[in-house]
Copies of this chain bind each other. A is one copy, B any other.
Amino acid sequence: MQPDLSGLTELEVNLATRTSLGDALTRSARMFGARTAIADRGRSVTYAELDRAAESVAGALLDAGLARQQPVAMLMGNSWQFVATYFACAKAGLVAMPVNVVLAPEDIAWILNDSGTTTIVADAAFGPLLDKILPGLDSVTSVVLVGAEPAATVGGLDARSWEDLAARGTSGPVEVLVEDRDTAQCLYTSGTTSRPKGVLASHTAVFVAGLTNALMQGGSWGGDHATLVNVLPMFHTTGLNTLVLPTLMIGGTVVLPGPFDPGAVLDAIESHRATHVMFLPIMYRALLGAQAATARDLSSVRLCIYAMAPMPGELLDQVDEAFPNAAVILGSGQTEVVPATVLQWPEHRHTKANSWGPPVPTVEVQIMDGAGALLPAGESGEIVYRGPHVSSGYWNNADANRAAFAHGWFHSGDVGHLDEDGVVWFTDRLKDIIKSGGENVSSVEVERVVAAAPGVQECSVVGLPDDRWGEAVCAVVVATDADIAPAELEAQVIAHAKLHLAGFKVPKRVIVLDALPKTATGKARKHELRADLSR
């Protein structure tokens, strides 16, 4: 049963019935025009201003000739202009493509090339980076700079001023066809292979994830509004899809205090009466130190999420104490399943603190064996997902998609089990990713670089538990020359890695062994290495 819509244009029906992220900002701005949408360091941006800027930039991007579903690369730190640009893309039916700006320049160049990017919106601070990579990128024809000098040029192109685009105005809202399953965002993740993969998420996926996160975070639409203090990078799905977008979808306020500074964060929580926050464990530790030095009123916070890794019990207790009215729980997920995929319940906080918690209401989690069979509670296998906020697939990578969706489930690459309460217990990674300081590091990529360092005969790279980083990238190497001093070999490896890898991928430790433990087929026994070295 489908309706007969003859006599109507496709756009008329689409405008009235669609699931579109751009419309979410329209609605919040209509209800809360005068309210602060984003407090970006000193600057308060109202919903009306944010929406006006987004509409204006959307119109400018379309006028410049961008066509439906083309990507707009965003090289931007956290700012209100980031958010306005993201929503501009959503309103215009373009794909917002925030790029991880801490990646190595050659990775960023590779991403721009793989995605066929023609248009880049960048903070002026990334001008030197663009000068370096743009000459090798023929597809890029347009750069818009935020905060640039007048008549700036970058990489041989005349840059347009973001501020000019945002202020030019429109004759009315941008109303173009945006279908529910059009791609809303593409986030490249440095995954398990040597090259980043573009994870595509539809408007429906991001929208449903947003509503779900708002529900899980105890949000409401009305006078009693949500206030988020966010320091996590918005070029990652956690900052963007778990935190910032859900808050804006229900008319809340997003506070961006700038690069992580414990004192500034605590001041922002106190002065804005923040209701929910999310930090990495190492950030919580720093916040506790700053709070011990100068106590702020943190009583407004009702939810503290921590990410990426369980926290030591004594640290959890201290966070409990510092945020007297907050539930302190772990949120987990991955770029491919717009998070939070799983979120602890407050009642599991003490009994199952080392678990990931249960899935959110819009995600089903199962455990699958290598042959595609689902396993009962207690049995270990790959964690697989289903639900409306699962990614629609990887860009330009049919092989990865075939593996990801085999048997009708999204394959996470994580290994774990479910308990009788449906709680997810993560135990290991099927593929070889190290999660360090909130970033994913492919051990394969680091191994390739380390193996090429002078004095290294062979190597294996593993993540070892680390209070500061969650996991520390650790290179286990065998020397070509048995007489070389371990400290000297370590220095050589680090120096070489720094030349060829982004900073966060450079090994934190180098351990020299006489030989690597190996499987019968000659592969390093990483599980054994990790166990031995974690002791």
Binding site for B on A (CB under 8 A): 1-8, 11-19, 23-24, 26-28, 30-31, 69-71, 95, 115, 175, 180-181, 183, 186, 198, 200, 204-205, 207-208, 211-212, 214-216, 218-223, 249-251, 345-347, 358-364, 385-388, 390-398, 401-402, 405-410, 422
Contact = CB atoms under 8 A, between A and B. Distances in A.
A348 to B, nearest CB: 9
Contacts of A362: 27, 211
Cβ-closest 8 pairs across A and B: A3-B393, A15-B408, A19-B388, A4-B398, A222-B345, A12-B408, A211-B211, A221-B361
A175 B392 contact: no
23 contacts: A1-B95, A1-B200, A2-B69, A3-B393, A3-B395, A4-B397, A12-B407, A15-B386, A15-B409, A16-B410, A17-B386, A17-B391, A17-B410, A19-B208, A19-B388, A23-B387, A27-B362, A27-B387, A30-B422, A207-B208, A208-B208, A223-B345, A250-B361
B16 A405 contact: yes
A497 to B, nearest CB: 33
Contact of A395 (B1, B69, B358, B407): B1
A71 B2 CA distance: 11
Nearest to A404: B16
Given A3-B401, A12-B407, 15 more contacts: A3-B200, A3-B394, A5-B401, A6-B398, A8-B402, A8-B406, A13-B405, A17-B390, A23-B364, A27-B361, A31-B358, A180-B180, A211-B212, A215-B219, A223-B347
B250 A215 contact: yes
A28 B359 CA distance: 10
Contacts of A401: 3-5, 7-8
A207 B23 contact: no
A221 B342 CA distance: 12
Contacts of A14: 408
A17 B205 contact: yes
Contacts of A396: 4
A189 B394 CA distance: 43
Contacts of A407: 12
A286 B394 CA distance: 58
**Number of chain copies forming the complex:** 2
Contact of A23 (B27, B30, B221, B386): B386
Contact of A215 (B26, B175, B180, B220): B220
A218 B218 CA distance: 7
Contacts of A95: 1
Contacts of A70: 1
A362 B410 CA distance: 28
A361 B251 contact: yes
A19 B19 CA distance: 12
A298 to B, nearest CB: 22
A205 B407 CA distance: 27
A216 B214 CA distance: 11
Contacts of A186: 1
Contacts of A200: 1-3
Given A1-B200, A186-B1, A207-B388, A398 B223 contact: no
A31 B363 CA distance: 11
Nearest to A394: B3
Contacts of A215: 211, 214-215, 219-221, 250
Contact of A249 (B221, B345, B361): B361
Contacts of A386: 15-17, 23
A388 B168 CA distance: 30
A1 B388 contact: no
A373 to B, nearest CB: 11
A6 B400 CA distance: 11
Given A31-B358, A393-B3, A405-B12, A181 B183 contact: no
**Candidate in A2, A3, A397 with the most chain B CB atoms within 10 angstroms:** A3
A402 B7 contact: yes
A81 B117 CA distance: 54
A391 B13 CA distance: 10
A2 to B, nearest CB: 6
A295 B402 CA distance: 62
Nearest to A422: B31
Contacts of A408: 11-12, 14-16, 175
A349 to B, nearest CB: 11
A264 B105 CA distance: 70
Contacts of A28: 361
A276 to B, nearest CB: 14
A13 B212 CA distance: 21
A382 to B, nearest CB: 14
A31 B430 CA distance: 25
Nearest to A199: B3
A118 to B, nearest CB: 12
Contacts of A31: 358-359, 422
